[in-house]
Chains A and B, each alone.
Chain A
Amino acid sequence: KQEVTQIPAALSVPEGENLVLNCSFTDSAIYNLQWFRQDPGKGLTSLLLIQSSQREQTSGRLNASLDKSSGRSTLYIAASQPGDSATYLCAVFSGYALNFGKGTSLLVTP
């Protein structure tokens, strides 16, 4: 059974800092990995999708990497802003379902 773990569970940083969120998964037989953002009580917003054959994807200030063999992905956020405050969820697709971690709750203070 695929297990997805996200570290840290919560993170508080001052505005302007670069930060890294970590995601690990137990079964390397994945099709893709997707990072999402979730604001309190809201749905999920897709940030980046990395196919299993790719090593990284970039979108604006976000960069996600994937090391399938070691079962790890990182989400790098450059020059953080208060508007980045949200919960970030990592999910791996192994068959027909996304398996999610519990998320990292990020607070960026002005």
Chain B
Amino acid sequence: ETGVTQSPTHLIKTRGQQVTLRCSSQSGHNTVSWYQQALGQGPQFIFQYYREEENGRGNFPPRFSGLQFPNYSSELNVNALELDDSALYLCASSKTGGTEAFFGQGTRLTVV
């Protein structure tokens, strides 16, 4: 059984650019959530996908968008990058919402 994997592990982008982060969920899991973790803070919920539909969203602007594919893998897209978008982006998968969540190793995004 494979765990949650994210790619890439590190990324440097310029302000104003667009970025796509990827996540493969754990086998048997149909729910994927994305979180943003700034340095020294707890993760903040961005949004959740269940069976390819957005199922909930945190307090993030529309330039944060996502997709979930039929194999339950997911993408997080961020447009018009700002310096404050620099953070660790974490993906979590679970069998359904409310069951144990398993996280990937994260993608460290630096916006310069």
B56 touches A41 (CB 8 A): no
In the bound assembly, the distance between CA atoms of A42 and B42 in angstroms comes to 13
* Tally of B interface residues using CB under 8 Å: 27
The reply to whether B105 and A42 contact each other, CB–CB distance below 8 Å, is: yes
Q: Measured between alpha carbons, how far is A91 from B41 in the docked complex, in Å?
A: 13
Binding site for B on A (CB under 8 A): 4, 31-32, 34, 36, 41-46, 49, 89, 91, 93, 95-103
Pairs across A and B, CB under 8 Å, 18 listed: A34-B101, A42-B106, A43-B90, A43-B103, A44-B43, A44-B90, A44-B92, A45-B103, A46-B102, A46-B103, A93-B98, A96-B33, A96-B48, A96-B97, A97-B45, A98-B45, A100-B43, A102-B42
Minimum C-beta distance from A58 to chain B (A)? 15
Bound together, the chains give a CA A4 to CA B42 distance in angstroms of 10
Q: Which of B44, B88, B97, B103 contacts A36 (CB 8 A)?
A: B103
B100 within 8 A of A: yes
